[in-house]
Amino acid sequence: MPSTIYNCLDPEGRKEGLAAAVEAVRAGQCVVLPTDTVYGIGADAFNNDAVARLLATKRRGPDMPVPVLVGSWSTIQGLVREFSDTAKTLVEAFWPGGLSIVVPEAPSLPWNLGDTRGTVLLRMPNQPLAIELLREVGPMAVSSANISGHEPPTHAIGAKQQFGDAISVYLDGGDSEVGEPSTIIDISGPAPVILREGAISAERIGEVLGLDAEQLRRK
């Protein structure tokens, strides 16, 4: 199936692109979409075949679980075992934005995101096109739009150069503003721990949580 890059900076292109992306996601296909950090490859989080296709396209195994993007603050509450005070504080301070949060997932959710060990990594991107798509189709499993080991692209053409016709719908929303991956913080254990520093510094997170940045960096 030939692929199409939709120019979503143009109103008509945006309308056509969103419609094509919604149709593709609902049909169990993967799409490429812009986020505020880097471009992502995404699929319906609750369609296990689609998530497996996403991993295969990236040439990545289930040992690195796929993050889930949501389109609103309220969506997180149905996906977590408990919406803790720490989670609430981080969501209110940094969403939408470049912070991914690892939390215990709600029991019996019908998804298979990889070897998650009972947790899920959640983020709400600060990108209007991505938000619009997420609000239309629901939570999406989204990983950076690159073949594993290659550089994550900050524009749609960079993703197309890696995936080609393996993806039918590319949404071009211009260059990603941040240009680096999100920061990942794990709050599923006894104390918050930063697993990857990226778009948001440990110092900023420490200020919000009332913790020293070095405490957050301890693994």
pLDDT 10s digits, 176-187: 987 788 999 999
pLDDT, tens only, 164-203: 999 999 999 999 987 788 999 999 999 999 999 999 999 9
User: Which residues are within 8 A (CB) of 188 and not within 5 positions of it... i.e. 6 or more apart?
Assistant: 102, 103, 104, 118, 119
pLDDT of residue 125: 96
pLDDT of residue 55: 94
How many degrees, rounded to 5, is the angle at CA 23 between CA 19 and CA 27? 170
Q: What mean pLDDT is predicted for residues 135-146?
A: 96
pLDDT, tens only, 50-67: 999 999 999 988 777 899
What is the CB-side half-sphere exposure of residue 23 using CA atoms within 13 A? Answer: 9
Closest CA to 110 of 120, 102, 101: 120
Pairing of strands 99-104, 140-144: unpaired
Cis previous bond, 153, omega within 30: no
How far, in Å, CA of 18 to CA of 76, rounded?
23
Q: What mean pLDDT is predicted for residues 9-37?
A: 97
User: Which residues are within 8 A (CB) of 189 and not within 5 positions of it... i.e. 6 or more apart?
Assistant: none
Burial of 147 (0-12, 13-18, 19+ CB in 10 A): middle
What's the chain's length in residues? Answer: 219
- For residues 141 and 123, the answer to whether their CB atoms sit within 8 Å is no
Residue 106 confidence (pLDDT) above 70: yes
Q: Residue 135 — pLDDT band, cuts 50, 70, 90?
A: very high
